[in-house]
Amino acid sequence: MLRSCVVTAMISLSILFSAAVRADGPIVIKFAHVVADDTPKGKGALLFKKLVEERLAGKVSVEVYPNSSLVGDADEMQALLDNEVQMLAPSLSKFDKYTKKLQVFDLPFLFDDGDAVARFQRREKSRELLRSMVNDNIYGLAYWNNGLKQLSSTQALHRPEDAAGLAFRIQPSAVLEAQFNAVGAKPVRLAFADVYKSLAAGVVQGAENPWSNIASQNMHKVQPFITESNHGVLAYMLITNGQFWNKLPFAIRSELEGIILEVTQAVNDEAEALNRRDRDRILAGGTSKLVTLTDAERQAWREKMLPVWKAYEDEIGADVIRAALTVNRRH
Ligand code: LMR
């Protein structure tokens, strides 16, 4: 009697559980970002969706919201913390509120090139930074790279003095603010979604972005000059809500981690080619004139901006800056 009661109870429970699973359907990951689909990050998000839906079909589905269409710079982090979205990939310049150490990526003229940035991201110091916001429930999954930033403007910028008095749009980063202050320009914090219209309306006269963001937002159409300065980097941290992530069934989380490794590799391998393609497209379009710096001119920008390293050394940590410097070949 007792045995049959237990069996009946178990059967009812399992019916209940499977009904719950059916009612709940697959786990949904909402992945929001602020750029266009045809950019390193945009393509990465779509590749992530494709691989997840192939390999975890029926278990996990991914909804990608590009172009600040669900949440943007102002509200995306809160949305992640509220578990309204489960994945974001904000630029490393957008984490000031949570950690100062990531500001290392904003230091001007720190990295020789994109490869150096990728090398640094594989080092222990960078890996530690992925976990630097866990107490805020922000869990870093990977670094995704876009590329080196160029200076676009209404005026030809050859020497740092050429930027004096011009207003430049910046991301919300104290280091970027200091970088533009160092050349006598006026930094203005604006959300990415507002950059094109602010440039078009003349609210700001310049900006800094890799070619892929300039092209996909049509910034070049309102910026007659682009100085190929390669003065800084634009890189992202793929992040998730820590509680959401830890509650995922182990097998699903492991599969997602494998997919993230694969997508990260693809994004970082392809970013440079995408930027080259967009550089060619912009220059072929003829809306913007390319300003190429001589070695002496580039050195002049570097010298003006270099004091920013010292000013932020305490906040970032001398050890972190030193670790970043060692990845350059000339070091
Ligand atoms: C910006 O605000 O300029 C960038 O962070 C946008 C992006 O995500 O590439």
pLDDT bucket at 329, cuts 50 / 70 / 90:
confident
Question: How high does pLDDT run on average in the chain?
Answer: 93
In short, whether 91's Cβ falls inside 6 Å of ligand 1 is yes
Query: What's the gap between Cα 190 and its chain centre?
Result: 16
118 in any annotated domain? yes
Task: Give the CATH number, domain containing residue 207.
Answer: 3.40.190.170
Q: Which three-class secondary structure state does DSSP give residue 286? A: coil
302 in any annotated domain? yes
Q: Is the pLDDT of residue 2 over 60?
A: no
In short, whether 35's Cβ falls inside 6 Å of ligand 1 is yes
Q: What are the pLDDT digits (tens) for 92-133? A: 999 999 999 999 999 999 999 999 999 999 999 999 999 999
Q: What are the pLDDT digits (tens) for 201-222? A: 999 999 999 999 999 999 999 9
Q: What are the pLDDT digits (tens) for 62-86? A: 999 999 999 999 999 999 999 999 9
More confident residue, 18 or 305: 305
Give the C-alpha separation, 65 to 46, whole Å: 10
330 in any annotated domain? no
320 in any annotated domain? yes
In short, whether 146's Cβ falls inside 6 Å of ligand 1 is yes
Query: In this structure, which residue's CA is closest to atom 5 in ligand 1?
Result: 91
Q: Which three-class secondary structure state does DSSP give residue 235? A: strand
In short, whether 239's Cβ falls inside 6 Å of ligand 1 is no
Alpha helix stretches (DSSP H) within the chain:
2-24, 40-55, 76-81, 114-122, 124-130, 174-181, 195-200, 211-216, 242-247, 250-285, 295-305, 307-311, 313-316, 318-325
Domain housing 276? 2-325
Strand order, beta sheet including 60-65: 60-65, 27-32, 87-88, 233-241, 138-148
Q: Which residues of 243-268 are buried (b: 16+ CB within 10 A; e: fewer)?
A: ebbeebeeeeeebbeebbeebbebbb
Provide the domain count of the chain.
Answer: 1
Radius of gyration of the chain (CA): 23
Query: In this structure, which residue's CA is closest to atom 2 in ligand 1?
Result: 192
231 in any annotated domain? yes
Q: Which three-class secondary structure state does DSSP give residue 63? A: strand
Give the C-alpha separation, 20 to 228, whole Å: 56
145 in any annotated domain? yes
Reported pTM = 0.92
Strand order, beta sheet including 167-170: 186-189, 167-170, 206-209, 150-153, 225-227, 289-291
Query: In this structure, which residue's CA is closest to atom 3 in ligand 1?
Result: 192
Q: What are the pLDDT digits (tens) for 130-140? A: 999 999 999 99
267 in any annotated domain? yes
Q: What are the pLDDT digits (tens) for 153-184? A: 999 999 999 999 999 999 999 999 999 999 99
Angle, helices 250-285 vs 40-55, to 10°: value is 150
313 in any annotated domain? yes
Q: What are the pLDDT digits (tens) for 266-277? A: 999 999 999 999
